[in-house]
Amino acid sequence: MKKFGEKKVSTECDFYTKASSLVENKIKELRANTPNLPFEKTKIAEVEINKFFYEGKTVERVMIVLRSNGCQHYKTNGGCSMCAHLNGAPLTEKITHQNYVEQWNSVLDGSFVENVGSTFDLNNYPVVCVYNLGSLLNPEEISVETVKYIFETLNKYKGVKKVIIESRAEYVTDDILSVISSAYDGLVEVGIGVESTNFLIRELCHHKAIDDTRIIEDSVKNLHKFGMKALAYVNFKPIFLTESEAIEDAIKTSIDCFKEFGFDAVSIEPTSLQDNSLANYLYNLGFYRVPWLWSLRDIIHGIYNEINFEKLDIRLGGYFDEEVLSGSQGTGFADRNEIFPHMTSSNCSHCTNEFVYAIKQFNMTYDVKELDNVKDCQHCYNLWQDTKRIRDSRDIIRRIQDILRKE
């Protein structure tokens, strides 16, 4: 993908600035439709159980999503082009420390569980994810006091071996990491949205607002200094790219994350469509298709070809065998789910389920044969290969001008 180049594009460049404004303005325009829903501030947004690969075996993981104040990048700059998590946050009210504590206590005592007869004990889950649909390390979104409370209480659950949280890179600071490491003895992994290591793709296609990857490198170093793990999120197939450009970018970005930045793990996140996102808007206009699942196999092999796969921790995000204990996300909950993607990456109706099953198996075992064993689909495999041959001679700035420019 040479035309997007490794050369630094100056953010002072007129064409770049105009393209960036076109993207940001359109995102902000779409965000104006975000509904102001009456969320219960003391009720957890979601708790889900799924299967996860940890220390060489399949274990149960619990994913806890706090009803939260939402991502600051989203509120300030409109957020990333593929994300509409603010749909799940209160727009005018603030979730306070006390609200978060009530939510969290409902997890600790199991009172959040909606299914009659089900019980819940955090100690049964070796891996616990605590997400806030934004950055758990940003004190503007969730206070240091709250984060400290969560980790101090987690410390009493010795069945929990690893806690996974998420944050934008700029909030991974010594201050907050030292609070966590004083409060908690177990292993902590922080998921950081890298999306792409290509400047133009990250800033224009993702609208990530990380114009210098040294911020990412520093965040990984900080985590390692505190004995924590760094997980990179790599978005697969942002808007404005062809399928083959997106495959190439996901492979390169993943390799960079391991080799250049020193991440311990990479999660490839195929784009899905949520209401009020720019990706969704372009899909509705016919300018975007969600990624093909076949392409994920190319990406995994592309990475393995470059790095000794025995040592790699690679996940395919969004596809885990799940059971929703409470909340409004997940399969079967679309009608009451404010952040539910109405479309996820897919092949055709004949083979998508089989491929999704293979991805879930891969995520439980990290065995690439699970993906290789899916037979070519007579209905769509050739179409996908044709899709990969599509070329676009325009650079990204030109594509943005063509699609978003108002004359």
Residues 126-155: x where in contact with ligand SF4 by CB under 6 A, - otherwise, as a string: --------x---------------------
Residue from 351, 358, 374, 397 binding Zn ion (CB under 5 A): 351
Q: What residues from 371 to 400 belong to the interface with ligand SF4 (CB under 6 A)?
A: none
Window of 18-26, 71-79, 173-181, 244-252 that interacts with ligand SF4 by CB under 6 A: 71-79
Window of 18-26, 201-209, 231-239, 370-378 that interacts with Zn ion by CB under 5 A: 370-378
Window of 79-87, 142-150, 152-160, 241-249 that interacts with ligand SF4 by CB under 6 A: 79-87
Rg of the chain over Cα atoms, rounded to whole angstroms, equals: 20
Q: What residues from 150 to 179 belong to the interface with ligand SF4 (CB under 6 A)?
A: 168
Q: Is the dihedral of CA 137, 318, 362, 49 positive or negative?
A: positive
Token pair 């889900």 in the structure block, residue: 48
Assign 3-state DSSP to the chain and report helix, strand, coil percentages, each to 5: 40, 15, 45
Choose the contact partner of 79 out of Zn ion, ligand SF4, none; CB within 5 to 8 A by kind. Answer: ligand SF4
Contact flag: residue 193 with ligand SF4 (CB under 6 A): yes
307: Cα separation from own chain's centroid: 23
Count helices and strands (H / E) in the chain: 14, 9
Residue 343 Cβ vs ligand SF4, minimum distance, rounded to whole Å: 17
Helix (H, G, I), strand (E, B) or coil at 301: helix
Contact flag: residue 379 with Zn ion (CB under 5 A): yes
Q: Tell me whether residue 71 or residue 351 sits nearer to ligand SF4 (CB atom).
A: 71
Choose the contact partner of 348 out of Zn ion, ligand SF4, none; CB within 5 to 8 A by kind. Answer: Zn ion
String of DSSP letters for 95-124: --HHHHHHHHHHHHSSTT--STT----GGG
Residue 348 Cβ vs Zn ion, minimum distance, rounded to whole Å: 3
Question: Rounded to the nearest 5°, which phi and psi values hold at 191?
Answer: -85, 125
Where does 66-197 show beta strands of DSSP type E? 127-131, 162-166, 187-193
Contact flag: residue 348 with Zn ion (CB under 5 A): yes
DSSP 8-state class, residue 271? -
Residue 129 Cβ vs ligand SF4, minimum distance, rounded to whole Å: 14
> Nearest to residue 250, comparing CAs of 186, 173, 159, 314?
314
Choose the contact partner of 380 out of ligand SF4, Zn ion, none; CB within 5 to 8 A by kind. Answer: Zn ion
Helices (H), 32-136: 72-77, 97-108
Contact flag: residue 71 with ligand SF4 (CB under 6 A): yes
Contact flag: residue 239 with ligand SF4 (CB under 6 A): no
Residues that bind Zn ion (CB under 5 A): 347-348, 350-351, 377, 379-380
